[in-house]
Structure 1
């Protein structure tokens, strides 16, 4: 009986020519199938919607919300969030006009932490303060949010609008990323003169690794939900996250004293931005509370994780000096992480923002700043 098999090929172990093509192709298709299945599964298990449909382009300020708009957003690492904007396009459940029912008005200014980005209202620092302080003060708390901007120059531009709502107090969060993202410019309210300074919508803000370049591989990695899931669980290991973050060069240099000339330059811009904001609010008799919110790596060092040559509080002290120079009150939330175990549980590790647990910690810092101490910024709350 004849066969098509070449006895010489069998004895030598050589593959038929067609198999040299088919086997690698089958292997490649298997890999593509597995990667595709992993990506589809990750997108089903961890849906994400960071682009806020209520946001529209707004001149020099990049993107602001349309009045009376409702949207839904979600970090892949977090829950769905409903965003409700009032008649002035502020993230608030209350009208931007005169507070009703004797409400205590608090203006939130600054970046996305103050904006309660990607956290449901009831779990956000604003929602928690509204509930707890509202009970202690015996009147509603009316939050008006002017936060969510990309850098301190832009935050300063909205200070007059925040002051015009006649708040009883203003709360501003600052973290290292806010300063790092500031443009290489001096303080300048006329941002229209600098076309390179544009606020992207919140869904397009850079993650923990900083501004990404345009290499297609990095863009693909950034858009991969499976890669995000893998990174999330990788970064839950504090040692791994801290070691990786410290390799970020200039971005991580705020943890290595003395502060570099680049970070000193960022602080000089903050000095002018904050001075302008404090003056605008002071003109309306609205005291300003500035809360320093630590980046995850910074919080890990403060918790006690070893990192030779670093200081978790180097930038905090420099910011505190600037804040107090302008007559504002300073609270350092970094100190709240001293001895804390499981720091990653307070953050969305890949996205970099505080999650609901982190917001609860920030709410405690805000409350301490508003009603604590011998001279509380908000009075009539019975020593709350």
Structure 2
């Protein structure tokens, strides 16, 4: 379980399962992980009874109020850290890992007969194992391929497994060790494809929970046996990352569907996120360019409050509606200077006005030699040299063109 003890305690309280005691959040014995393995310490919900279990003699009715045989007001409950893999109280020395693995689960049909390993526990030491869900492996290709699946309640509530607990104290040691086992039964219809066995799951805060934990029931009965049946509620089951199969690995992605969009290891999600990121970057770039255009061109044309020209009101109209320029003193002055000058009093009336030189067209055969005077060539400058006409298409020119230079 990934929750802290305080968080699990609050959620159980909301589901009508109060706990008067619970481990501290900084208790290192409680394993907070997404990959809980046998030998780890988890949270167990049980009646607050001595380590030897519930009393075998009937309790005084004056001290315990009961409703249909189930203890109510006088029964106190507690959350306790226990190790997964039950070790019976008569064990003298710590068993090896292989022997402990034999007691991580307990078949429900093994409790229907008297005697056996579980005889004392089933009568006096019944408990609830609190978790968020469990893993089961789907075998394919004759067991060569094993695909892990995560199973949880569809409503998101914590899971409550039926279990048995015990307390052992090895020889020569003062510390006590609390351990538990999970009771299994036949799989329901939903999980038949996955495995033929599943944990016994109780509805949180139900009468079945109260009956199972009732310390007044110190003898095994058919009623208790009848509680051990396949779960009839709705479950969610989906494949998850195979990395959960290695003990020591731990990641929140272990409880996320392998094909979910939230799963970062899904290669399809990787390319989908790349396309989404590229699209968002392009959209952001387009918006940025539009903002820049508005800032640089948005105030280019401003309309004054007293402006009533149609060119402003209708920018699509022609220039026929543009206002005509008004004549002012300044414009009269410029107009007078533009008039052709008259007879000058200084007597320079014989000076010819400057003539406008017209360039010869490119298709003329030669440059005209007529004029009021011929500019002499200078040994210093040759700026006034006339350009030679373009050659004819056959590359020849008239002989007279050479004397014009």
Q: TM-score, normalised by structure 1?
A: 0.21
Q: Which of structures 1 and 2 has the larger relative contact order (alpha carbons within 8 angstroms, sep 6+)?
A: 1
Q: Which has the higher strand share?
A: 2
Q: Which has the higher helix share?
A: 1
Rg: which structure is higher? Answer: 2
